[in-house]
Amino acid sequence: MGEISVGRQHLDRLLADSAETSHGAPYQQAFAELAETHQGQPTAEILPLLRRAADRALLEFTHADLVEQAEAISTGERYVLRIRVT
């Protein structure tokens, strides 16, 4: 399980159901699309795609969190992310 802190004014960067998306696709949407299209693919192929999505959304995930997310996508397991709103 990962954890990220996001300022209240930047929730649109993370959550797909936010009212505003000033930074392209929210990370949640990018993650869901990768989970749909890359299940069964090697973690090493998914990891740079997640990094690019996080960078586009201006979110600072740790490398370990991104690896966990990539592994979850690869294996089809559920991934839980705890969000701390600051």
Number of H helices, E strands in the chain: 3, 2
Name the residue with tokens 């090697």.
42
Spatial separation of the C-alpha atoms in residues 79 and 81, rounded to whole Å: 7
| pLDDT per residue as tens digits for the range 68-83 | 999 999 999 998 888 8
- For residues 27-62, one letter each, b for 16 or more C-beta atoms within 10 angstroms of the residue's C-beta and e for the rest, the string is bbbbbeebbeebeeeebeebbebbeebbeebebebe
| pLDDT per residue as tens digits for the range 11-61 | 888 887 655 545 567 899 999 999 999 999 999 999 999 999 999 999 989
